[in-house]
Amino acid sequence: MSRHRKMYINTANLVTIDPVGPAQGTAFEEYGKGKNLFLTGAAGTGKTFILLHLALKEVLQKETPYDKVVLIRSLLPSRDIGFLPGTLDEKSNLYQDPYRILVRYLFQMPNEQEFQMLYDKLIGQGSLEFYSTSFLRGQTFDRSIIIVDEAQNMLFHELDTIITRTGQDSKIMFSGDDAQTDLKKNNGDRDGYRQFSNILEDMKEFSVITFGIGDIIRSGLVRSYLIAKTNMGIRESG
């Protein structure tokens, strides 16, 4: 079966990102070794940002074995988007907006109109796709770089399902922080994230990297707040 020919996207506009802090440095190094990644830990450390950078940079190379970046997350902690107004696409678009902003930071474009054309091209030709955990049945992602974001909000069976959708010539990367989970703490739902990470730690194909407060890259008040919150052992309620 012939592969879909993608339109060329000028990667000269893709900004150069250097790792900030020891954990980001380890992530770049392990990715360069061909490892699948599981990035876990403190908020504000740029986990999702660097994964999206690494994935897009590789997918957009002229001689790449990968066709697309697949970004997967849970749409809502309740996993039920039926209560939101609008069509399924309109509901899903609400959760694509943060990633559009990240992509905007990854490309140095002369103006917003030029960026929108580039972003529409990425989406239109399938170089960047979005999926919810609710709609993975029957999917297999071949020749893809898969990013699973907000993994701490997924049950074990969801994480288990996602990794089994990794197809031929694909790699997969996870990002999460169990201190920010929206899952209830008294029914065992939160245990799935830790159980899953323990499994990956036992696999030679994966590198599990923990981000601590020393890896927080946000500046000013936000950084001080995150550090103080972590030092006090305060976790998300639920």
Residue 196: phi and psi, rounded to 5, are -65, -45
Domains of the chain: 36-231 (3.40.50.300)
| H helix intervals, the chain | 22-32, 47-59, 88-106, 112-124, 156-163, 191-201, 220-231
Supply the pTM of this predicted model: 0.88
Structure tokens at 236: 């998300």
Give the whole-angstrom CA distance, residue 67 versus residue 3: 9
**Please, are residues 126 and 86 in contact by the beta-carbon 8 Å criterion?**
no
| pLDDT number for residue 146 | 98
pLDDT tens readout for residues 120-178? 999 999 999 999 888 888 899 999 999 999 999 999 999 999 999 999 999 999 999 98
Task: Let me know: does 207 contact 37? Beta carbons within 8 Å.
Answer: yes
Mean pLDDT of 8-20: 88
Mean pLDDT is lowest, of 57-61, 65-69, 71-75, 108-112, for 71-75
Most confident of 9-23, 27-41, 175-189: 27-41
Instruction: Give CA–CA dist 238/181, Å, rounded.
Output: 8
Predicted local confidence at residue 35, as pLDDT:
98
Tell me what pLDDT residue 2 has. 38
pLDDT of amino acid 6: 65
The mean pLDDT of the chain is: 86
**40 or 214, which is more confident:** 40
pLDDT band at 220 (very low <50, low <70, confident <90, very high): confident
